[in-house]
Structure formats: C-alpha cells, structure tokens
Structure 1
Amino acid sequence: MSEVLKKALEKLGLVRDIDLVLHLPLRYEDETRIIAIAATREGQTSQIEATVVDQQVQLSPRRQLVVQVEDASGSCTLRFLNFYPYQQKSLAVGKRLRIRGEVRGGFWGRQMLHPQVKAAEGNLPAALTPVYPTSRNLPQAYLRRVIATALQRVALPETLPPQAPPPPFPNTQGAPMRTWSLHEALHFLHHPTPDVALATLEDKTHPAWQRLKAEELLAQQLSQYKLRQARAQLVAPVLKPHTAPAGTDAPLPLHEQLLGRLPFALTAAQRRVCEEIALDIARPTPMHRLLQGDVGSGKTVVAAISAAIGIDAGWQCALMAPTEILAEQHFRKLTEWLNPLLAERGQSVAWLVGAQKKKQRQQMLQAIADGTAALVVGTHAIIQEHVQFARLGLVLIDEQHRFGVAQRLSLRRHDTPADAQTDADNAATALAGAGMEPHMLMMTATPIPRTLAMTYYADLSVSTIDELPPGRTPIVTRLIAEHRRDELIERLARQIAQGRQAYWVCPLIEESEALDLSNATATYETLGEAMPHARLGLLHSRMSGADKQAVMTAFAAGDIDLLVATTVIEVGVDVPNASLMIVEHAERFGLSQLHQLRGRVGRGSTASACILLYATNDHGKLSDTAKERLQAMAQTNDGFEIARRDLEIRGPGEFMGARQSGAALLRFADLATDQNLLEWARALAPRMLQHDPALAEAHMARWLGGKWDYLKA
C-alpha cells in the first residue's frame, strides 16, 4: 500500500479491519443485469452491452468525443466532454462494451453523458455494486477491494450473550422474520442481492441495518453504564463548609458570609440548585453535574457559592471560561464578591490567561502552587502543563460546549500533590492519594445537542435554574430580510438619537470568497457613513486583550452608541443600557449562538429587541433548516425550548467523540426512529455488564475503539 493511499484511509478513520467493514456504502449501482437499448427509459440509470460503430471528435459547439454504439434493439450516443487519448483507444470502432449511465432522450435519439464504460467480458456481478464515501486520492475501485479483503479477513464473533433476547427488528418485507448475525448483516450491506427492495436499504429499515443499529446502541449503553460504575469507584475530596462549635463566636461559613454581602437575594431556583450542588460535593465520589440556566438566570452567583463551600473546606477551585471577555467578566464579579472575605484568610482570587505579562503570570502560578490562590479564574491557560494546583477540589466550566472534550479532560486530570498539607480543622479532606479527582460543575445557558442527549441517558446529574431574577425585561425578536437593510439602519439611527445603545454582530472579520459575507470592518465603515452623528466602536477577535477591554469599557460607560462586533461578544458581555441587538446573516448562526447573542440585551429596565437580519437565495427564499432555526428564535425566548429544537434540527451530536454536534458517533441508529432498539439496549446493557463482562468489553472494543476516554469529559 502506498503512503498516499494509507494517509487517505487514515483520513477517513479506516485503520482496523473493523473500521473498513463498518464503512458502509452511500448507495448501490445495479450492474447485475443488461438492458436492451430499446428497453431503456429516459432519466433512468441503465446498463447496456453494445458495439462501437462510430467515433469522432466534434469541435462545435465545444470539443467533445462522440461515440455511437448499437445492440440488436437499437443505438445510443455516448458523449464525453473531457477525454484522453487512452479513452479514444478503448472506445475504438468494433469494441464490445459494457456501458452504464443515465439515459437522456432528444431529437437525435438516446444519449448518455460521461457513462461508465468497460470491456464487455466476464460474468455479471451477482450482487449490487457498493459506492462508498471516499476522499481525495482514494478511488472507489481500491476502496471496494480493501473493504472486500477486510470482510474476508475480519473475525466477527458473536458478542451478544446467548440468553439475550434478540433485537426487535421490524418485519419490513411481510415474510417471517429471522435473526441476523452481525457477520451476515455486514456481508449483505456491502453486497446486497439484486432482489432486495432498495428503499429498505436507503431508509435503513432492512433487518441487516437494524442489526447494526442494535449493536451500536448496545455499545453506547454499555459505555454509559460502565462509566457510571467507574465514577462510583473514584475518590473525590469531601467539600463541607466549616462549621463552628455551638456557643462560640467563630465566623459564619464562607458561603453564608458571601450571601450576606450580596446586593440581591437569591431566587428560589438558585437556592434549590445550590443545595443540590452542596449535597453532591459533600460526598466522597466526584460530582459530574450540569448546571443549566437560561441567559441571565444567575449561574455565576451559584458558581461563587459552590466555590465558597470548596474554599471553606480547605480546597482550591478553578473556573474556566472559553474567552478572555467572559473570563474577565467572571473575575470582576468574583473578585468583588469573594476577595474581601478571602483577604482575612490570606487568600485571593487569581487571574490566569494566555496574554498575561510574564511577571504577573509567574506571580499567579506561584499563588496557585502554594494554595494562596483559593479560586483561579481564566481561559484554557488554566490547563497548561506548567500550572500546578496545590489542592484542586472543584472545577467549574462555563459555557462548557465551547471547549473541546480533550480540554475538559485535561482539567479533570490536573494532578494534586499527594503530600499536600491540609488545615488541621479539615483533616478529613486530606488528599487520599492516587485516584483522587476534583468535583466538576459544567454550566451552560443553552444546552447543546450533545449535552441534551447525554442527559437523556442519565450520564450527567442536572441542576436547572428555571426562573429569571426579577427586573429582566422580555426581548422581542423580529426577522428582517436583507433587502430591508436601509430601512433598518434608519430605525437604528432614530433609536440611537433617543439615547439607546445597540450591538451589530457580523459573522466574519475578513471577506471570504467562499461565503461572500459582509465583514465587521466594512460594516463598521458603512454604518459610520450612514449614521455620521453616532459614536461607533469595533470589536473583533484579532484585537489585543487591552484593546478589546478598552472598547468594552467605553461601551459600558455609554461613550459608544453602536458596537459593531463579531461573535466575540456572544458570552460574557453585560451592558444594561444596551437594548437592541442586530445579527447580520442570522441564517449562518446556530440556535445556541443566536440565543446567546440575544441574551446580551434585556439586562436593564428598557424594553429590548433582537433583529435577525437574514439573506435569501436568488429566488428570495431561505433553506428549510435556516427557516426552521430563525422561526424558533422568533417564537420563544426559552433557552430550554430552543435547545430542544436545536436537538431536532442538528441531531444529538457525537456522544463519544470530540465533536460537539453534527454527524453523530451513532452513525447508524437514529434516536427519533429507533426507540424500540434503544429500549432493548438499555435493558440489556446492565445485565450484560453484570453477567457477561468479557462479552461487554469485546462489544465496546469493537464499536468504540479508542473513543472510550472521551466519555469521561
């Protein structure tokens, strides 16, 4: 095998024999029969056998190779707009050919444009010819050959326990059902017989497809159950707040002191989730909890209270955010709330991002290592190898879907020295040694499909803040087509003249020939010309941290009327006076992003609006998916309802892979249509792990390969 072919196979993930045999066809070509030319029908793909009776190169209206072929029933013209000398030789007059292509009618009779052509020799295939997903430098003929070889070589022993009930296959063909083994199913799907109903292969209802779906869902369920078992065996620090003996004048626990300093009261929902988290982190097994709360519901204060409990128990906490803007927003709030309390203990809130000056960074790293940094707030800089925590007990990850799975795993694996010293009053929380890992709280304003699907399988504990703090104003969402842009700018100018502030969000910084989207800089200049009296600011990801902060400070202070920005302001921007959000090319954004952007307004007492400016195609229409997304935004402000619709539109995402959405690792099964198979797998998985652990391990190894680790994130 050449290096080029090897790399092409690796690009598709085709490394093991099992990878090859699970690389199933996109479609099939029927080369099992020959049709007389006279029996072919226009628009149908047919295979004929005929003799070349004429060949010529025509120069008008464009250069093309035209070949005339005949059989006993009639004639057909073959046209090749791109051709080479070797093709002319293989299509010489007198050659007997086997030709397959789409038949077209016309004034000059039947024609085929660029058909597949080979010599008419050898027996016809006994099975349909598979057409596989492929990539550059990987020809179909080679892919068919290596997959056929893998099918002969691979061992597919049965991994379902003998006593297990068979999967509930639907009877799609009206005949008595039989049980398909995995070996039979895969061989059939790579080389189905000509009599199969192609519709059952295309919609994956054929029993062979059903067997694959059942196996895949069982692997997914086994991995979920095994993960829960593994987590139950891990040891985590017991995070209980310091309690003073009765009758003493000792200070209140840190989280109660924090509650007393806050300028607002917690909502009932915030109090409830704080209690859920406090119970979880007081256990000696690691918490793995998702905190769901709509935009503006107050997740940060819940994180602060959780951190206060961990700090009071003698442990460090880390809060990781996906952008510097969001991290700095958290840092400012948490510093304001916690530093006065921590100062009395000789501790503080630390700040760690990639763009820090060397001296400041060294100071922060030292404070983290010696434990004086009780809470560390930052970006992915927190998970760099040289960052060593003294006693990491609780990890908080905001907007968790913005981090890759590997990044979240890295933070959970941060080693804490086994000889870490502990407070005498908290001896029970001393590190137990190898196997100790921190509790983890992940936060999100709009649960992404992967999170929803994992929650559906009870992989995560979930806390939900299902009410907004008082004072939040409802946001009106409107859809406006691009051709009304000038009208929108006029309305925007009037709003600014009345003292309102607004955002204008663009999806790209630079022009892209592929996408042809307006860029932030050009939009900034165009809007400046259209509204000469307005004070405009520009914010994008390529600006330095200091420049970004200067722009945001000016906007928050009211010195900028209109902030033109990329999605760098998606999360972490809190300007109560900003009451208008305009999202350009809204059809290009996902629902989660649109909901986050909309959440930047409505933070004050002024009525707020979100305008989704969308572009249409040449016929003035949106794609069905884009229309569905934008309509969902206009119909509801509920982040959980938006997440549900996002799941419907985008799919459950890749459960065990690094990607967050799109094509699922459930390559074959569909959660919407295969509920019966899912229930079968959910019932079988725990019994199989208990009674047939060797078969369960073999089944997961076959289907998951090296992806098991990703579940731990």
Structure 2
Amino acid sequence: MSSRPESLFPLFAELTKLDGVGPKTAQHLAQIDIEKPRDLLFSLPYSGVDRQKRASVLDVELPDVVTVEVLIGAHVPSRNRGGAYRVTVEDSRTAFQLVFFHARGDYLQRLLPPGERRIVSGKVELFDGVPQMVHPDHVLEVHEADEIPAFEPVYALTSGVTLKTMTKAAKSALERMPGLDEWIDPTQKSQAKWPDWDAALRAAHAPEGLKDLAATTPVRERLAYDEFFAHQMTLALARAKLQRAKGIISEATGKLQSKVLSELPYRPTDAQGRAIEDITRDMGASLRMNRLLQGDVGAGKTLVAFMALLVSVEAGGQGVMMAPTEILARQHLQGLRPLAESAGVVLEILTGRDKGKERNAKLAALARGDIHILVGTHAVFQQDVHFADLRLAIIDEQHRFGVRQRLELGKKGEGADVLVMTATPIPRSLALAQYGDMDVSVLDEKPPGRQPITTALVSTGRMDEVVAHLRKAVAEGKQAYWVCPLVDESESLDLAAAEERFKQLRAVLGEGIVGLVHGQMPPSEKDAAMAAFVAGETSILVATTVIEVGVDVPNATIMVIERAEIFGLAQLHQLRGRVGRGTAASTCLLMYQAPLSEGGQKRLTTLRESEDGFRIAEVDLEMRGAGDLIGTAQSGVPRFRIADMESQAALMAVAQSDARKLLNDDPDLTSPRGQAARVLLWLMEQDQAIRLISVG
C-alpha cells in the first residue's frame, strides 16, 4: 500500500471544506499547524467552561461564568461614543445588567427585544454591588437553550479565529471521520479499558467536566498511545530493516578479553559486565546488532567498547571505532593503546590528516587484515577505505546520529554489527523516542576509585579569591581548566573573552603556565595546546567549550566555569566530568553573575546537589521540554499533538514493545491488524515508515 488509503481522504482534504472555515480562517489556522481536517481532530480542547443553566446569577460565587434565563428590560444607550451601553435584565431572583462597548443600538434592540425572554451566558462580576455581564458569550432564544453544552470545550486559538469558529470546525471534522479497523492489540485494549478510535475522538472533543481533560482518562490515554504506537512502529520498521540485512555471526573465544581483564588494576563494575555480556551475545547471533551504550561521564564506556572490538578480532575479523573529531579520535587511541598492547592486538588511527604514502600504507594493511582495530573520524567512510572483514562499527555519538544515518552506516559494512555510544545520559522517555529502534545498555555505576567532585557556586564578584586559590593549586602541582562562556553567537566576541581571561591569568600566574584553546584556532595549534596541557607543560587551560567531550587529563582536578548560569545543565555536567578522573579530590567552581534568574538558580543548585547524570537529565527535560533538549530540528524526535513524552514515558514503553511484537508476528503487516496499523501510519503521517514498508 504505497498510496494513502481512500478511507482517509476526507481527513486530508482542504480545511475550507469544513463548516465556517473560509480561505482567511484557513490561513490563520495554519499558524498553529492546523492545515487539514486531520490536524483539527488531534487538536483537543485544553480546558472548558461550566455553562450548566442556573436559576439566578446569585446561585454562583461571583466572579464566574453563569448561564441563566432572563426577562429583558430597559436599554440605556451610552452618552458618549464607545461608552457603555446597558441593558437591564431580570432572572428568577434579581435584576442585573448586560454591558456592551462600541455597540450599535439597532443591533442590540434586535438581539435583546425588551419584554421578551432570552438565555444569556457569560462572565458575571460585581460592580458597586450590582452584578454585570460584559459582552455575553451567548445570547439565545429559550427554545435554543440546548445549543450551549453544559460544559463548553475551550481550544487553543490563534488571532483571527474565535472559539465559536474553532468549535464549529472541530465538529465538522468529526463528522468526516471514517470508521477504522483496530490497530491496538485486543488484550492491551481491554485491559486498559480503552474506547474505539472514533469514539475516543468524539469523547475527547465533548468533555463533560474538567476531569475529562486529564491525560490519564482512558479516552486521552488511548489517543496518546496511538501517536506513540505510530512513532514506535516507524522505529521498529527501521530496526527490522537494519537487522534483516543478514548479520555476521562473531563468536567470542574470550582469549583476548581475558588477557585484558587480567592486566586491569580493578574489576569492571556490574553494569560494565552486563553491557559486555549483552554485546557479546548480540554479536554471536545471526541478526545484526543495533545497540545503544548509554553511560554517564566516567562510567567506563571505553572498556566496554574495547571488549566489543575484541570480540570481532577473536572471531577473526576487524572492528572500527568512529569519533566525531580528530581530538577525540586521538583520545580514544590513547585510551585504547595500553589495552591493545596487553591483548597483543594491532591498533591504528585514520583521520583526514593522513596523506600520501602513509595513508596508502594504512589502507593496504587494512585491506589485508593486518590492522585489527581502526580508530578514526568520518574519514573511515571514504570510498577507498576497504576492510578485509569488518565485523563491528562503534560510533561515538557526539554528532547526533539519527535513524536515517544508522540506516546509511548499515550499508557500509555488509552485515557489520553496530554499537552507538553516548556520554549524554538521556531520560528514559527520550531514549525511547530517539533510539526506539535500538536495544539499550546503560552504565549507571561509577568504576571504583573515581573521586567524587565537590561543586561550589561562587559569584563573579569573588574573582580575586578564585585566582588566588588557583595560584596556590598550581604551586602544589595541580592542573585546572578555566572555561569561558560562549558570550553570544558571534565567535569573535567569545574569542575576545577567552583571550582577555588568558592574558589576565598569565599576568598573575606567570608565562608558560597558562594555555589557550578556542574554536577559531587551526586544528594543529589546538592539538598542540591540548598536548602541552596533557603533558603537564601548562598548568591551566583556558578554553571555550571545545573541551567538553572526551578529554582525559587525570592530573586536572579543578574546573572553573565562568558565567555558568548561561550554560545548559547537560553541558555543565559534561564539563564537570572533565575533572575527577585521577586519584586526587576534585573541585568544580560554578561562577555566576548575580542576580540569578529562577531557572539559572535551579540549574546550578541541581548540579551542586547531584552527580547523577540521569537525574540531571530528568531535571533538564522538565525545565526545557523535549524539543530544546535535543534540538528537535535535527533529532528526528517527533512533536506529538496529544501525547506527552515526559509524563507518559511508561505508555511509550508499552507502545514500543507492542510495535516490536506486531512486526515480529507479522513482518510485512499483511494480517488484518497489520493492515490497520498501515492505515494508522498514514493517518499519523509517518512517511519514513511508509517508505520502509513500500520498499520492504
């Protein structure tokens, strides 16, 4: 089914086909992403107004909305233009006033003829003891009373669209709704007591009270599940596609792994042990591995990654580890080299810097299989790079690797297993939304011997004390990072800030003690400055945020972050993780400019109180929302209209296992439920999934 099913045509028609929607209104609605009847169905009311009929305005605690039948009395036009035009009316217990501004008398005489009875509904307030209803929302003849629902739903509006127009359009969209076959597993549906799809939408647009607006009602929960399920079907299809490419069975012998483990000065943590087992098991299976290794700063991902690479070598093949930048690739090389030596494995690096003869020699060795493990940047993806027998590709995921790129990577190594590593702890709901096509291993324990980091907040007014503290530390042979803020988008200003700080510190602490790294430097200078710091030739490294990822200097025990309040939480946590890598106690000073905003304060205190990256990521998600956290534009995380990723993470997990089970039982979606799921993918505009089905 590679074209939209006919049953959905009415929902994908022009908005102007709906009652009360002209071309102009349609333009206004497009401002809030409503472009077709389908979008209106999924734009649910967010609130409601109690409009049940009362005997008198006195039956309600004012100010409040009241719906009441009245006898119309005298009209008192305003004395000046634009003043208040008043109409006296009486309900069963009291007289009150209807008030209009900028009103036309002839129109109001027709709307409210003296001596007749009408139903009026609107907000009533007391002015000088007299109840007044200014601009009633509804004025109806008595026999039309039923036109006002007892609880009137309120929709999000945009300028140029009234609630009346929106309500009418939503009603009209509901009338075009087709009956669709059920895509939810029957057991799941009856256990959760969910209604049918069309019944759920009708009920969601006709709430009977505030309780019906809660996300936890069966009606709304079902509709949220539908969104999650469609998204997870897309990810499950991508996963099936990656796995269907026949994997290579890489059997571990354990020979090389045990050599490395016996040389280590410590035992791996339980979390590392579990992750190594998962990966070894996946690599030994005939399906292709597609796994995410998630670990907090310093949780020991490098060891797990190396053990995985060794499985590919033990099985007679090769492994590759890719990093986003040259600095990081070299860092991996340094981290892995001692491990490779203890296992007697040949390890090489390939980056854009390799040229001519040297590069050719490396490529030849790689093609012969003389290099067992290759570390590199994107350069390993170039046309002329050939492996003798590539079994495993590890991607160090600092450059958001979306589903699409994972499918691409799958093509390069025919059947090679894929492991993506990320150092950014991701809250569970986001991990499900972004990496739902992968299996996940989490490293949530710190290896033994990692020192806790003391975090303190210091205002910029105390700069001199901080510098004095540094001078003392440097005299004791310690090393420190000093991170300057990204002042604004212009790099020249950041540069000025960093250079200024560099000069000041150099003046106070002496020549040759302070180094500088920033984004504008040529790579060779950057590497030289980093190398001098790693070697301990400089004691203080002034840097813009280029150092946040993967830099490992065990002797560095102080991290100063200037203007910490303008950094994001995750970024601060990553930066702090650059210290505390050796045996000495470490400190992180968060320097802020007073006064702190509420958000700034919450970020800095969260950081001071917790070193748990997952906890920090949850707070970050709460504060910023999912879109900002990963930059929705390039992340491939969908924007849901009804579902809420944060509060409904558990529902997302159910949707994931349901989607995987359906595809497992019915890979081509040909069963009645599979066909219904295809319709759901069209309904939810999951184009990527539809492409995967039509080519699959």
Query: Fold-level match, TM-score > 0.5?
Result: yes
Structure 1 residue 635 corresponds to structure 2 residue 600 = no
Moved more, 383-392 or 483-492: 383-392
Q: Deviations over 1:562-609 (max 9, x none)?
A: 333333211111122211112344445444333321211112233211
Give 1:60's aligned residue: none
Higher helix share: 2
Question: Which of 24, 27, 42 in structure 2 is aligned with 1:22?
Answer: 42
Is 2:329 aligned against 1:327? yes
Decide whether the 8 Å contact of 1:43 with 1:104 is kept in 2: yes
Aligned position for 1:403: 400
CA shift at 1:448, angstroms? 0.6
Aligned pair 1:300/2:312, yes or no? Answer: no
Report the Cα offset of residue 328 of structure 1.
2.9
The structural deviation recorded for 1:116 is 8.8
Matches within 5 A, 1:474-493: 474-481=452-459, 484=462, 487-493=465-471
Q: Matches of 1:462 and 1:667 in 2, distance apart?
A: 26
CA distance in 2, matches of 1:472, 1:673: 35
Q: Is the 8 A contact 1:322 1:403 kept in 2?
A: no
Deviation digits for residues 129-155 of structure 1 (CA, Å, limit 9, x no counterpart): 643376x99998987776555433342
Structure 1 residues 510 and 166, CA, compared in 2 at 3 Å: closer, same or farther? closer
| Match of residue 393, structure 1, among 379, 387, 391 | 391
Partner of 1:706: 687
- For residue 239 of structure 1, what is the amino acid of its counterpart? S
1:86 matched to which residue of 2?
A: none
Partner of 1:85: none
Classify 1:15/1:38 alpha carbon distance in 2 versus 1 (closer, same or farther; 3 Å): same
**Cα deviations across residues 69-93 of structure 1 (Å, max 9, x unaligned)?**
3222436575xxxxxxxxxxx7556
> In the aligned structure 1, how far is the partner of 2:435 from the partner of 2:245?
21
Counting matched residue pairs gives 634
Q: 1:325 to 1:23 in 2, by over 3 A?
A: farther
The corresponding residue for 1:235 is 246
Equivalent residue in structure 2 for 1:209, among 203, 208, 220 = 220
Could you tell me how far apart the structure 1 residues matched to 2:505 and 2:131 are?
A: 59
- My pick for the range that moved more, 641-650 or 211-220, is 641-650
Per-residue Cα deviation, 1:353-392 (whole angstroms, up to 9, x for no partner):
5x88799889878887787765443445656788776654
Separation in structure 2 between the aligned mates of residue 491 and residue 111 of structure 1, nearest angstrom: 68
Rounded to whole Å, the distance in 1 between the matches of 2:170 and 2:367 is: 53
Work out whether 1:577 is the aligned partner of 2:576: no
- Structure 2 partner of 1:53: 78
Contact 1:277/1:306 (<8 A) preserved:
yes
Q: Quick check: 1:153 aligned with 2:176? A: yes
Matched, 1:605 2:583: yes
Measured at CA, do residues 117 and 75 of structure 1 come closer, stay the same or move farther in structure 2, by a change above 3 Å?
A: closer
Report the CA distance between 1:471 and its aligned residue.
Answer: 4.5
Give the distance between the partners of 2:236 and 2:514, measured in 1 at CA: 54
Instruction: Give CA deviations for 1:489-540 in whole Å, capped at 9, x if unaligned.
Output: 443444345443222334424368xxxxx95642652574477323444433
**Amino acid paired to 2:44:** L
Per the normalisation by structure 2, the TM-score is: 0.70
- The residue number in structure 2 matching 1:182 is 197
Are residues 530 and 507 of structure 1, via their aligned partners in 2, closer, same or farther at CA, if it must alter by over 3 Å?
closer
Matches within 5 A, 1:334-483: 334=336, 338=340, 349-352=348-351, 375-379=373-377, 391-398=389-396, 400=397, 402-406=399-403, 408-416=405-413, 436-450=414-428, 453-454=431-432, 460-463=438-441, 465=443, 468-469=446-447, 471-481=449-459
Say if 1:446 and 1:595, in contact at 8 Å, map to a contact too. Answer: no
Distance 2:535 2:474 in 1: 15
Deviates more, 1:223-232 or 1:203-212: 223-232
- Cα 1:214–1:39 change in 2 (3 A) is same
**What's the counterpart of residue 247 of structure 1?**
none
Question: What corresponds to 2:10 in structure 1?
Answer: none
In structure 2, the CA distance between the partners of 1:700 and 1:576, relative to structure 1 (3 Å rule), is: same
User: Residue in 1 aligned with 2:311?
Assistant: 309
Structure 1 counterpart of 2:488: 510
CA distance in 2, matches of 1:139, 1:621: 36
- 1:189-204 superposed matches below 5 A: 189-190=204-205, 192=206, 196-201=208-213, 203-204=214-215
Following superposition, the deviation at residue 197 of structure 1 comes to 1.5
User: Distance in 1 between the 2:127 and 2:388 partners?
Assistant: 80
Q: Which residue is 2:676 aligned to? A: 695
Q: Confirm or deny: 8 A CA contact 2:249 2:286 kept in the other structure.
A: yes
Q: 1:384 to 1:75 in 2, by over 3 A?
A: farther
C-alpha contact (below 8 Å) 1:55/1:91 kept by paired residues:
no
The alpha-carbon deviation at position 440 of structure 1 amounts to: 1.6
Aligned-partner Cα distance in 1 for 2:341–2:148: 77
The CA distance in 2 between the partners of 1:595 and 1:205, in whole Å, is 33
Counterpart of 1:397, as a letter, is: I
Secondary structure at the counterpart of residue 329 of structure 1? helix
Match of 1:68 in 2: 84
**Distance between the aligned counterparts of 1:17 and 1:356, measured in 2?**
56
- What is the deviation of 1:25? 3.8
Distance 2:256 2:436 in 1: 32
Structure 1 pair 169–37 and aligned structure 2 pair: CA distance change class (3 A):
same
What is the one-letter code of the residue matched to 2:78? V
CA distance in 1 between counterparts of 2:310 and 2:554 reads: 27
Write the distance in 2 (CA, Å) between the matches of 1:685 and 1:709: 16
Residues 160 and 497 of structure 1: CA distance in aligned 2, closer, same or farther (over 3 Å) = same
Q: For 1:501, which of 464, 479, 482 is the aligned residue?
A: 479
Residue pairs, 1:91-130, within 5 angstroms: 95-96=107-108, 126=148, 128=152, 130=154
User: Using the alignment, how far apart are the partners of 1:390 and 1:54 within structure 2?
Assistant: 94
Aligned partner of 1:53: which letter? S
Counterpart-to-counterpart distance in 1, 2:212 and 2:453: 47
Give yes or no for contact 1:29–1:131 (8 Å, CA) kept in 2: no
Q: Is 321-330 or 690-699 further displaced after alignment?
A: 690-699
- The answer to whether structure 1 residue 132 and structure 2 residue 164 are counterparts is no
Relative distance call for 1:187 and 1:461 in structure 2 (3 A) is closer
What aligned pairs does 1:29-44 form with structure 2 within 5 A after superposition?
none
Amino acid of the structure 2 residue aligned with 1:197: G
Q: Answer whether contact 1:292 1:444 (CA < 8 A) is retained.
A: yes
TM-superposition CA deviations, 1:379-422 (whole Å, max 9, x none):
45656788776654212122x36514146424533344xxxxxx
Task: Quote the Cα distance in structure 2 between the aligned partners of 1:382 and 1:181.
Answer: 51
Does the C-alpha gap of structure 1 residues 632 and 683 become closer, same or farther in structure 2, counting only changes over 3 Å? Answer: same
Give the Å deviation of 1:481: 4.8
| Secondary structure in 1 matching 2:212 | helix
Q: Which runs of 5+ in 1 are unaligned?
A: 57-65, 79-89, 171-178, 244-252, 417-435, 513-517
Quick one: structure 1 residues 485 and 667, their matched pair in 2 at CA, closer, same or farther if it must change by over 3 Å? Answer: farther
Counterpart Cα distance in 2 of 1:547 and 1:46: 73
Matched residues in 1 for 2:683 and 2:170: separation? 17
Residue 196 of structure 2 aligns to which amino acid in structure 1? S
* CA drift at 1:444: 3.1
The amino acid that maps onto 2:268 is: T
Query: Would the alpha carbon gap of residues 119 and 104 (structure 1) be closer, same or farther in structure 2, given more than 3 Å must change?
Result: closer
Deviation of the 1:186 alpha carbon: 1.8
SS in structure 2 opposite 1:327? helix
Q: What displacement does 1:660 show?
A: 5.7
The residue number in structure 2 matching 1:290 is 292
CA distance in structure 2 between the partners assigned to 1:644 and 1:226 by the alignment: 28
| 1:445–1:639 Cα contact (<8 Å) kept | no
Cα distance change of structure 1 residues 133 and 328 upon mapping to structure 2, 3 Å threshold: farther
- The superposition leaves residues 536-572 of structure 1 with CA deviations (integer Å, 9 ceiling, x where unpaired) of 4443334332232232123223344433333321111
Whether the 8 Å contact between 1:658 and 1:710 is mirrored in structure 2 is: no
